[in-house]
Amino acid sequence: MDKKPWINLFLLVSLLFSLVIPGGAAAAAPVLPASVPPPPELAQGGQPLSAVPQVSMPAVDVEALLAEDWQRMANGLPTRFAQPMAVRLDPGNSGAWERLADGAWLWRLRIAAPGALSLNLGFTTYQMPEGGRMFLYTPDYRILRGPFTAADNELHGQFWSPILEDDEMVIEVLLPAQARSGLRLALTSVNYGYVEFGNAPLSGSCNVDVVRSLIHI
């Protein structure tokens, strides 16, 4: 009897076995830790992001919005890339405050808009006290915008955020111990990106005035 087929079968089984056991020739990729520590720019020592309250945006009818955009183009009007959603969120009615070990105050809020290609925010009240910092980032820390500080305070009191190319984001505000009472922040628009911003017909650079004008036409 020819033993070569059995030898070949034995070698094949050995190879497959080595692929699924630790230390084998091609062991599975290591599992990432359940909680990735925040980068050094962000607050340290707060509760995990999973414990931070989240606000979920309703779904949008992308096909209907695109049909409207075709009609807008036919009428000589600029197209949009985002659908504004009116909200009224502020540190007094949403998110979570924490007192950190060094006495600083941390406020965070998670926002989810399932299926969005991007998100950006409109604050119709923005006054950051001296020493305060605001960051906007994705929960996996892949995209981080900021810090936004007192240098971003404007006479009109508004702040329109850069775009984050994701359907989830975290708002984080870190304040010195004595500065909490000086924060004024009211988020009134979450803008659900349904067209890739760089591909919108009239999209140029990611300029705050361009973003504001496009979503309010």
Q: What is the pLDDT of residues 139-174, one digit of tens each?
A: 999 999 999 999 999 999 999 999 999 999 999 999
Domain extents in the chain: 53-216
Which two tokens mark 159?
């702040």
Give the pLDDT confidence of 6-33 residue by residue, as tens digits: 334 333 333 333 333 333 333 333 333 4
**Are the beta carbons of 68 and 81 closer than 8 angstroms?**
no
Instruction: Out of 5-9, 71-75, 175-179, pick the least confident.
Output: 5-9
Mapped onto helix, strand or coil, the DSSP state of residue 208 is helix
Helix (H) or strand (E) holding 160: strand 159-160
Q: How many Cα neighbours within 13 Å face the side chain of 23?
A: 0
Which two tokens mark 140?
């996996």
What is the CATH T-level fold of the domain 53-216, as seen in this structure?
Answer: Jelly Rolls (2.60.120)
